[in-house]
Chain A
Amino acid sequence: MNDNVLWLNKLVPKHVLLEDSEIESILEPLNIIKEQLPKILLKDPALKALDQEAKPGDVVEVHRVSESAGSNLAYRVVVEE
């Protein structure tokens, strides 16, 4: 996580770009292909604020604060449009 002001807002959850091997370990147990993940637009400010540059087909891990579970992980595939 860098010092982009975006991350200072408590409503913006932490985003992490995943490695290919990590993606596989997410998709495997769910028995789905990448396209069946929820999507995130390439132009999403959260992606622009990342250290690495995201490209379509990448998967980000979103660390959300959850009212019911405390914290929660979501996975979103980057799409152009």
Chain B
Amino acid sequence: MREMIPKRIGKIDFALMGPKEFRQLSATKVITADTYDDDGFPIPMGLMDLHMGVIEPGLRCKTSGRKMDEDPGHFGHIDLAMPVIHSGYSKTVKDVLNATHPSSGRIMLTQDRIDHYNKQIQALIDSDSGTTVSIGGISRRAVREAVKSKTCPHCGEAKIKVTLDKPTTFREEGRKLTPKEVRSRLEKVPDSDLLCLGFNPKITRPEHMILTVLAVPPVPMRPSITLESGERSEDDLTHKLVDVLRINQRLRENRDAGAPQLIVEDLWELLQYHITTYFDNQTAGIPTARHRSGRPLKTIVQRLKGKEGRFRSNLSGKRVNFSARTVITPDPYLSINQVGVPELAARELTVPVRINIHNLAFMRDLIKENFVPSDPEQYIPGINYMIRPDGRRVKLTEENWEFNHDRLEPGFIVERHLMDGDIVLFNRQPSLHRMSMMAHEVRIMKGKTFRINLCVCPPYNADFDGDEMNLHVVQSEEARAEARILMRVQEHIRSPRFGGAVIGAIHDHITGMFLLTHGEASYDRDQTVRILSRIENKMSLPKPDYPKAEGGPRWSGRQIFSVLLPDDMNLKYNASVYFADRTPEENAELDMIVEIVNGNMIRGPVDGNSISAFKGRILEEISRLKGSDAARSFIDKVTRLAVGALMETGCTTGIDDADVPEDALKQILVAQKNAVKNVDKLVMAYNKGKLQPRPGRSVEETLEVEVMSLLGKVRDKSGEIAGWHLGMDNFAVIMARSGARGSMLNLSQMAGSIGQQAVRGERISRGYEKRTLSHFNKGDLGADAKGFVRSSYKRGLNPTEYFFHSMGGREGLVDTAVRTSRSGYMQRRLVNALEDIRVKYDSTVRNTANTVVQFKYGEDSIDPTRSKFGDAVDLDAIVKNVISGGK
């Protein structure tokens, strides 16, 4: 590699290249459409001329003398027989044509106005302030004003309007203007008038928008590939250039031979077509150029544009080294900070380590370990490559490792395999927020999947139905430090979105903790030790709550849980299982209120309202007041404790959890029958015209609203009935009420009735003429005919119900599909608009031009992750603390 010379770019000018520049740049003129001769050697002055670079090993570039892969290539050029319009500039050409007069070439403004605009633009150029006000804006105004004038103030002649037939045909009152005419008009515009048209006459001229010379891109930009059969296959760009050359040749011959005007014009237009599609093969208004197979050719614009284009695919979305991707599986014994990495991946992923006197012996051991493993069963990192102080990379092999082992000394860099404790970035797509990419500590494991703790599933939005995730090994000391301090999972427990925890106990952890702590649950010495040993091996047991119990002392579940609580914690709140429809006294009686005094749980169960993300009060308190280390350790320990508790009690659910007794079923059916009867009454009243419309609604709307509310009520009612008969001895109910998974509505739909189906928020009304299905009478407005499902999931649906249910279900599916794609694009636009905005050290928000966007971050300069749901200070807690005298 050549040493690159760093240079500071002071200024960039964008300008049009003229024929002179193209020729200057060109390494060779291209005249023949052929590529290779019979021996497979590039033809001189052909499209693969060796002056334009080499793509075959062994040959040397005739311009720079470099070999393949060292030479980026050089441009060539084609001299066009006739000028051709560059389709990308046709709009600008039209503007210039219309703003100037063909005979004088002057812009159709009085000298005063020209000077006025020139001065404005010159001032903008001179000020060099880098403001966002563009020269384009001023020149556009100048053009608009010039186009409006009917006669030229300089020559006094009238002006005929030029129209543009997209993409490249100009007409003057219906008569076609040839590119040659257009060019000669543009040439006439004097330099003094160019500035207010937006051209800098020192570097560019409007006639450069009409091509007389076409640049031929270097060969390495359009390499030909040799197929297995030995056949050569050319790049799409080369194909297109062949077309251009052929037509160009024919056009020249015909013109020189004095062929009829018509033939020359046809060929001229064909050349225009080929050059237009050479730039952009999706130009509106002209057919796409195709390969012999019928595949559209991928020309220059297609290479750059869109998701698969150079920018989004190769520049913004580069593939990277030191990364791995595989399926994820859960492991509750990992900390939330950790990630389990399979040995196979760990042996490929490396960390560069600079050798010093302290790690020299260790690294030597690792080199040896690579080739003579001391214990094949145990994972010990090895070393793939070493980098000598002179910068040479040496791959360690069976042959050279002993030599390299001995010569290793401070100053060398070795690429060490991943080992326990390394910090890596872990990511799941779509990366919608900052929690989609967090730093984890490595744990090397057997198997072939990445392992993660279940609590980090919600921020990644991951599950284990085949999800894959990416892992990146950070390569520099600085990056490792940043990752550890800023990106570690524990630093993301609290969300910047609303100032609460997003990582917390989920699913089984909540069920487990509930089973451990609810009611009078207690455990004997063996059980207590088993459960607690999941957290730590060495700890003394607390004093048992029931020392005199039959069969030895017993410990309450609350007591076991209290081990995790900080001593200064005092809280009182309603549990998730709290009955909203009963009085606080009744709830207290039922042990639905949690109270913690000085880090001891006095009463109430631990459930979703204590430890889950978003809602968990204890988690909220610990993560906000005790810091991320404490929060991480709390979540880890809750996970382990929950697993321990579940091992003692067990938890299972099945279809029989939706069983309701015979008389409950009867009650549900009766309630339903009554509701349907009431609906019928309403419909009857409506049919007789006796229904009183509600204020602001028509009679029809009134009927719909009343029916919907009636049927909604009966669904709630049947759920309620089912709920009475499904008690807290039912695991499905425990999961729903404790906030672990599912809801009472889910349960009542399984046990009681599914209820009204809706499409677009209304009862189902489409299908046949005046009815939904042919099973009903025309005009039937009753419950069954409009999508009310009486059955439950468990009893099963009848055919009409099933159909209605599918209609409602499809709407849900379509909605999610539409929502994700639309919000994805919205997100993309937002990110592109905001990506360079950041909070500076003085807490102002600024962009890269250092202009202020907000004078104080969030107007209050409060970091929401350290706030309590947006409030910097938890006043209630402070007041309470002061009143109680700090107890």
Contacts and interface: CB of A to CB of B under 8 A. Distances in A.
Interface stretch (B258-266, B475-483, B774-782, B854-862): B854-862
Nearest to B138: A81
A69 B852 CA distance: 19
Interface string B847-874: 0011111011011101000000010000
A35 B850 CA distance: 10
A79 B131 CA distance: 12
Contact of B859 (A36, A37, A69): A69
Contacts of A72: 855-856, 859
A35 B853 CA distance: 12
Contact of B860 (A30, A68, A74, A75): A68
Contacts of A74: 855
Given A30-B842, A81-B133, A37 B851 contact: yes
A37 B870 CA distance: 28
B860 A36 contact: no
A57 interface: no
Interface string B824-861: 00000000000000000010100001111101101110
Contacts of B860: 66, 68-69
A59 to B, nearest CB: 12
Contact of A36 (B852, B856, B862): B852
A65 to B, nearest CB: 10
A63 to B, nearest CB: 12
Contacts of B131: 35
Interface in A42-81: 64, 66-69, 72-75, 79, 81
Contacts of B849: 36
A81 B383 CA distance: 62
B716 to A, nearest CB: 36
A61 to B, nearest CB: 11
B851 A38 contact: yes
A12 interface: no
A68 B853 contact: no
A52 to B, nearest CB: 23
Contacts of B856: 69, 72
Contacts, number: 42
Interface residues of B, number: 18
A69 B859 CA distance: 6
A35 B129 contact: yes
A74 B850 CA distance: 16
Interface string B111-134: 000000000000000000101010
A76 B478 CA distance: 39
Nearest to B857: A68
Contacts of B842: 29-30
Contact of B855 (A73, A79, A81): A73
A16 B137 CA distance: 30
Contact of A68 (B852, B855, B862): B862
Nearest to B871: A68
A68 to B, nearest CB: 4
B133 A37 contact: no
A36 B870 contact: no
A8 B51 CA distance: 75
Contacts of A30: 842, 844, 852, 855
Nearest to A66: B859
A69 B862 CA distance: 9
Contacts of B855: 30, 72-75
B842 to A, nearest CB: 7
Interface string A22-42: 000000011010011110000
A23 B850 CA distance: 18
Contacts of A38: 851-853
Contacts of A68: 858-860, 862, 870
A22 to B, nearest CB: 15
Nearest to A26: B855
Contacts of A64: 859
Nearest to B137: A81
Contacts of B851: 32, 35-38
A31 B340 CA distance: 48
A32 B850 contact: yes
A32 B846 CA distance: 11
Residue among B850, B852, B853, B870 with most chain A CB within 10 A: B852
B133 to A, nearest CB: 7
Contacts of B844: 30
7 contacts: A32-B851, A32-B852, A37-B852, A68-B858, A69-B856, A69-B860, A81-B137
Interface of A: 29-30, 32, 35-38, 64, 66-69, 72-75, 79, 81
Given A32-B851, A36-B851, A79-B133, 4 more contacts: A37-B852, A66-B859, A73-B855, A75-B855
Q: Which 3 A-B pairs have the closest CB atoms?
A: A69-B860, A36-B851, A66-B859
